[in-house]
Amino acid sequence: MSLPSLHKQPAWFGTVMGTGAIAILFNLQADEFESTFLEVIAVTLLWIASLVAIALWPRYLKRLQSRHELHEEVGDPNHGAMLATLPAGLLVLAIGWGSIGPKTLPTPLALWIAGILVVLGAFVAIGFSAYWASTISRREVGLERVNGGWLIPVVMNLLVPVAIVPFVEYFPEHAAPLLAIGFGFLGVGALLFLAIFALLVIRIATQVPLPSAMAPSLWIPLAPAGIFGVALIRLTQAAEETNFVGEDAVFIAAAVASMGIGFGIWWAIFAFVDLRRSHMQGGIPFHLGWWGFVFPVAAMALSIARVEQVIDSADIVAVLASAVAVGVWAYVAFRTILAVAKHRKQG
C-alpha cells in the first residue's frame, strides 16, 4: 500500500489528539493524587498540543484551495478518514482547555478558548462525518478496503459530550439544553460506531489480513470503547450536579463504561496478536498513522481512571493503564520527531 509523503499525510492532527489526551490523563491523575508535579506536566503538554495545532492548521487550510483534490482525498478509502483528526484534535483541545485551562489561565478566558474550540470542532465534526460517509458510499469500495481508520469520523462525535461538561458545570442555568446536545452527539457516535465496526469485523473475518502499514488502524476501536464510557460518566455526573438525575445514575453509567473497558481489553489482545504477525512478516513502516496507537490507548486509560473514581477502588489499575498510555505516546512522539528530522535532512 502506497503512503503519501510525510508532508502530505492527512493524519498530522493525530499528534494533537494523542498529546492532548495524554495531557488530560496527567491532569486526571494530578487531581487524584493532588500532585503539583503531574499538574505542571499536564499544563505543559496542553500548551504543546495547542502550539502544534496552530502550526499544523495551514496544512489543512491549503486543502481548501482545490475542492476537487480535497474531494478525491476524502474519498480515498485508505487515508480519507484520517482528515477527521482535524476536528477530533480541536475537540480534544476543547476538553483540555475546559479541564486544564483554568489551571494556567483565568477561568473565563480558558472557557472562552474551550468554547470556541468545541463549537468549531462540533460543526466540522458533524459536517465532515456526513460528507465523508456520503463520498465513500458513492464509490465502489470493496470490503477489503475497509480499515479501522473509518472509525475516526465516529470517535470525534463522542468527544463533543466530554467537551460540553465544563459548560454545564459553569452555567447550570443552561444545563438542560447543553445536556441534550451532549447526549445527542453521544447517540451519533455510538450508533455510527456500531455500523462501521460491523463492517470492520466482517472485513477481518472474510478478507485477507490488513496490510502491515494499516496495522495501527486495528487499534482504533479502543478509542470509541473508551471515550463512550468517559462521555457517559461525565454527562451523568454533570446531570447529577444540576439535579437532573440521582446518584444511582452515575453508578449505572460506570457499569456501562466498564462494559466498554472489557471490550477494549479483549480487542487490545486481538489487535496485539495481529500486530505481532505484522512485525514478524517484515515490520510496520513508520508513518503518522502510528498515532492510531496513542489516542485509543489513552482513551481506555481515561475510561479506567473515571470508573475507578466512581466506584472508589484502588488506583493501581488506572496508574498502570496511564503508564502504558504515556509510554506509547513517548515512543510514537520520538519516532515522529526522528521522521521529521530525516525528512528535513533529505529535503
Tell me the average pLDDT of the chain. 92
pLDDT category, 1, cuts 50, 70, 90? low
Which 3-state string (H, E, C) describes 310-323?
A: HHCCCCHHHHHHHH
The one-letter code for the residue type at 178 is: L
Alpha carbons 275 and 226: distance in angstroms, whole number: 20
Q: Residues 61-97, buried b or exposed e (16+ Cβ, 10 A)?
A: eebeeeeeebeebbbbbbbbbbbbbbbbbbbbbbbbb
Cell of 305: 481512571
Query: What one-character-per-residue DSSP string does 248-310 give?
Result: HHHHHHHHHHHHHHHHHHHHHHHHHHHHHHHHHTT-----GGGHHHHHHHHHHHHHHHHHHHH
pLDDT category, 4, cuts 50, 70, 90? low
pLDDT category, 2, cuts 50, 70, 90? low
Cell of 105: 489561565
Rounded to whole angstroms, what are the CA distances from 21 to 50, 145, 206? 12, 28, 34
Alpha carbons 186 and 193: distance in angstroms, whole number: 10
Convert the pLDDT of each residue in 101-154 to its tens digit: 999 999 999 999 999 999 999 999 999 999 999 999 888 888 999 999 999 998
Instruction: Average the pLDDT over 231-253 and give the result.
Output: 94
Alpha carbons 175 and 318: distance in angstroms, whole number: 30
Q: Which pLDDT value is given to residue 347?
A: 61
Architecture of domain 8-336: Alpha/alpha barrel (1.50)
pLDDT category, 13, cuts 50, 70, 90? very high
Convert the pLDDT of each residue in 280-301 to its tens digit: 777 788 888 899 999 999 999 9
Alpha carbons 237 and 168: distance in angstroms, whole number: 10
pLDDT category, 203, cuts 50, 70, 90? very high
Instruction: Average the pLDDT over 208-215 and give the result.
Output: 84
pLDDT category, 342, cuts 50, 70, 90? confident
User: In the predicted model, is pLDDT for residue 201 greater than 70?
Assistant: yes
The top-scoring range by mean pLDDT among 2-11, 17-26, 52-61 is: 17-26
pTM for the full model?
0.94
Instruction: Average the pLDDT over 80-103 and give the result.
Output: 96
Higher pLDDT, 6 or 244: 244
What whole-number percentage of the chain has pLDDT above 90?
A: 76
Decide if 226 contacts 303 (C-beta within 8 A).
yes
- Output the CA torsion sign for 19, 262, 163, 43: negative
Cα angle 330, 218, 48 (rounded to 5 degrees) comes to 30
User: In the predicted model, is pLDDT for residue 187 greater than 90?
Assistant: yes
